[in-house]
Amino acid sequence: MNRLKLIAFVIIATLYCFTAKAQETFIHIKADHVSYNKKLSTYYAYGNCTIYDVNYVLKADKVSYNETNSEAEAKGHVFIKDKAGNWVKGSYAIFNYSTYSGYIENAVLFIKSNHLYARAKRIIVLGKERYFIKKGAITSCYCPDFVNLKGNSHPKWSIEAWNTYVVKDRFLNAYPVIMKVRSVPVFFLPFIHRNLNKKRKTGFLMPHIGLSSYYGFKYIQPFFLNLGPSQDITFYPFIYTQRGRGIRSQYRFYWTKYSKGKWDITVYKEKIPYITSAHRMTRVNFKAKQYADLGRYGYLTYDVNIVNNRNNLRVIDMSNIETSSDRYTTSKASYYLNYKEYFFNAYAQFYQDLISQNNRATLQEMPVVKFGVINKKLYRNLTLDFKQTVSNDFRIEGKRGFYTDSTGFLSYPFKLSHFSITPKVGAHQIYSRWEIAPDSKDYTRRAFIPEYDLSLSTSLYGIFLNNSEQGFEGLKHTIKPTLSYQYIPERNQKFPDFVPIYSKTNKITLDLENIFTAKYIDNGKASYRQIFYNRITAYYDFAKEYHTPFPPIYEETTIKPFDFLKLTSKAHYFFKKHMFLDSSESLDVGNSKVGFTAGYNMSRDSDYNLNDESVNAKIYGYPLKGLYVYASFERSLHYSYYPSRKFGFLYSEDCWSVGLDFYLTRSPEEQDDGSYQTRLDRGFWLTLNLTGLFSIKREY
């Protein structure tokens, strides 16, 4: 019985295989009239003819199909389409359903995945995936006359190639090529290769092209190297005709669902020596970032920025270094793990001093370990917060060593009527051991610093309605006052500079927030927008001598009464001097047609001297359909120069876009005597996109 079942199974499986194979090559013919010539083994079809198998559909006015050689001849309104939606149409075609080869005359080919059209007197079909076009025009623009083979029509742009070889979903090769706008030739290219596969593939990308008065002609030629579905490398060899050449490489990876990052390495060989020929440099900059979520095993991050020479990053004013540039590059790595209320954190930081002659006196935090518990409930509302810090601080010359900081607080938050009250009491235990290199003598010191905190807060609401059923319905006004007090008694804390200390404090702080929220009704649906936000923070520390009852207050405001208008402001104001210590304001006005942004920034040093003041603005708009224009500038009022001025345009249509970005920028440069001056650089970057074919991008 089992043997009979086995034989039956083999017979059924064999019949299924033969049936499937027969179905794969089976040809169907439909038409208004169909006849068969037995002697010639040929079917003849007239009127609304359709002949198809599982791979291709052929439609025409007249079709003849020979069973012996599987060849079809089609005349009048010929249309051939595959399963993927690619098609060819023309006036006359020969097509073999056995080899899937043939040709079509006066034809247009459409590649669906890239939305490309190709038109020629004859398009040759070389197989299921391959086409060859002699003297053809290629475009991604939909032009009805071009697609429907009417007259001497020209799309918005096209390339005319003597030879074009297409492999569907893989690539397009065309050579030689003339680029045309309408019927006007624009430029010549010996060869164009276009990847038609949407999957990432190794190969050259389109270049970045620009011109600069300082760097000269700028050419960047990217090359993409696919290392797999989750990692790749892009090389950016570049040439600056006046300044030098080099290469930048970027490695991107997505190793797991929760781990991603990128590494950048730039090597730049100067063409013009720096100061003298003895200072000709090869500048190297390495940057790397990664974020890894290890689930229950914590988080790992690093951010590395290292240069081989301090002059790779230059500043404007040595006397105001902190306001003109970052003094250090910073490289850091961190690991964080938490379980319920408990946490563990280990990190290290490495700094490069870009100003000093060497890095010997630069303090490095390598490593720092922190662990503790946050908001641990002990009994009812009684809460414990504890943090232990152990830090090793190293430098080749100067004070170096380690310190520990043990900080613990007990708090008991509770409510009294409409008020939330949180009293806290705690202490800091600091211990440090250090030496003054290169001496080896050790020094130690410890300190115990208590701290007492109390905060009181509440929220007040007011709602104003106009009972409207459409549009603006009403306002909600929220006031959130918070009063807090902090007391730290004076303790001897003569530690080295790398140990954080807790200064004597007897400070009372008032924080007041005002919020207006508007409600709108649109077709029965409610929406909300915060139209006004203001925060004022004022404090007074009785442990300090202000010689004024009003030390600096902090103000923050955001006003957004309409979707097209937003105003923000942040500032510290000192009543004693009747001046702002720092201020930052911005205005943003715009809709879908035009917009304007402006900003102002100012800051003063500890002696109340102005050390930075600048303004910036940008205006943009769409004066015509598809045209975007803009102009922007930054102006340093303190240093009396323009760090940046830019203007440009981008014109886009359905199948192409072109743009130019002009710029005038000033960059810092060190002089022979060691001073810094700014240099002016003028130039532009080109943007050109031919949809489906290639894109030349601006430099970002």
- The residue-averaged pLDDT of 262-273 equals 83
Question: pLDDT band at residue 14, thresholds of 50, 70 and 90?
Answer: very low
Q: Is residue 25 helix, strand or coil? A: helix
Q: Which two tokens stand for residue 601?
A: 């920034």
Question: What sign for the dihedral angle of Cα 65, 66, 70, 72?
Answer: negative
Whole-number Å distance between alpha carbons of 538 and 530: 24
Number of H helices, E strands in the chain: 3, 44
| Residue 74, φ and ψ in degrees, nearest 5 | -125, 140
Q: What is the pLDDT of residue 324?
A: 41
676-693 pLDDT, tens digit per residue, is 667 788 898 888 888 877
Residue 166 confidence (pLDDT) above 80: yes
Determine the distance from the C-alpha atom of residue 527 to the mean position of all C-alpha atoms in its chain, rounded to a whole number: 30
Q: Is residue 113 helix, strand or coil? A: helix
Whole-number Å distance between alpha carbons of 217 and 209: 8
Q: What is the pLDDT of residue 698?
A: 62
Question: pLDDT band at residue 11, thresholds of 50, 70 and 90?
Answer: very low
Contact 391, 401 (CB under 8 A): no
Q: What is the pLDDT of residue 272?
A: 66
Q: Which two tokens stand for residue 55?
A: 């791979």
137-151 pLDDT, tens digit per residue, is 988 888 888 888 787
Q: Is residue 38 helix, strand or coil? A: coil
Question: Per DSSP, what are the bridge partners of residue 384?
Answer: 376, 410
Whole-number Å distance between alpha carbons of 309 and 319: 21
367-395 pLDDT, tens digit per residue, is 999 999 999 999 989 999 999 999 999 99
Q: 125 versus 199: which is more confidently predicted?
A: 125
200-244 pLDDT, tens digit per residue, is 778 888 788 888 888 888 888 999 998 888 899 999 999 988 888
The amino acid sitting at 604 is R
Contact 624, 643 (CB under 8 A): no
Q: What is the pLDDT of residue 670?
A: 60
500-532 pLDDT, tens digit per residue, is 999 999 999 999 999 999 988 888 788 889 999
533-542 pLDDT, tens digit per residue, is 999 999 998 8
DSSP assignment of 624-637, as one string? STTEEEEEEEEEET
Q: What's the CA angle centered on 582, arms 318 and 514, to 5 degrees?
A: 155
Residue 13 confidence (pLDDT) above 60: no
- The residue-averaged pLDDT of 18-38 equals 69
Share of the chain above pLDDT 70, in %: 90
First to last CA, the chain: 76
Determine the distance from the C-alpha atom of residue 135 to the mean position of all C-alpha atoms in its chain, rounded to a whole number: 41
Residue 52 confidence (pLDDT) above 60: yes
DSSP assignment of 635-679, as one string? EETTTTEEEEEEEEEEEE-SSEEEEEEEEEEEEEEE-TTS-EEEE
**Cβ atoms within 10 Å of 691's Cβ, excluding its own:** 19
Whole-number Å distance between alpha carbons of 241 and 271: 8
Query: Which range scores top for mean pLDDT: 47-61, 87-101, 370-384?
Result: 370-384
Question: What sign for the dihedral angle of Cα 183, 189, 190, 195?
Answer: negative
| Residue 311, φ and ψ in degrees, nearest 5 | -80, 0
Contact 171, 193 (CB under 8 A): yes
581-630 pLDDT, tens digit per residue, is 999 999 999 998 999 999 999 999 888 888 889 999 999 999 998 899 99
Residue 2 confidence (pLDDT) above 60: no
638-676 pLDDT, tens digit per residue, is 878 888 999 999 998 888 888 999 999 887 666 666 566
Whole-number Å distance between alpha carbons of 190 and 207: 16
Residue 19 confidence (pLDDT) above 80: no
Q: What is the pLDDT of residue 675?
A: 61
Residue 273 confidence (pLDDT) above 70: no
Q: How much is the mean pLDDT over the chain?
A: 85
Residue 183 confidence (pLDDT) above 60: yes
Q: Which two tokens stand for residue 534?
A: 């203001």
Q: What is the pLDDT of residue 688?
A: 85
Share of the chain above pLDDT 90, in %: 45
Whole-number Å distance between alpha carbons of 411 and 408: 10
Whole-number Å distance between alpha carbons of 353 and 462: 54
Query: Among 54-58, 323-327, 342-346, where is mean pLDDT lowest?
Result: 323-327
Residues whose CB is less than 8 angstroms from the CB of residue 684 and which lie 6 or more positions away in sequence, other chains included: 210, 211, 648, 660, 661, 662, 663
- 613's enclosing H/E stretch is strand 610-621
Q: What is the pLDDT of residue 671?
A: 61
Q: What is the pLDDT of residue 316?
A: 40
Q: Which two tokens stand for residue 194?
A: 């276009």
The domain at 25-195 falls in which architecture? Sandwich (2.60)
Could you tell me if residue 643 is left (phi over 0), alpha (psi between -120 and 50 degrees) or otherwise beta? alpha
Query: Among 213-217, 255-259, 346-350, 664-668, where is mean pLDDT lowest?
Result: 664-668
Whole-number Å distance between alpha carbons of 362 and 380: 48
Whole-number Å distance between alpha carbons of 129 and 608: 74
**Cβ atoms within 10 Å of 1's Cβ, excluding its own:** 5
- The residue-averaged pLDDT of 153-165 equals 88
Q: What is the pLDDT of residue 18?
A: 33
Residue 337 confidence (pLDDT) above 80: yes
CA distances (Å), origin 487, targets 38, 160, 426: 109, 80, 11
- The residue-averaged pLDDT of 2-18 equals 42
Whole-number Å distance between alpha carbons of 29 and 58: 10
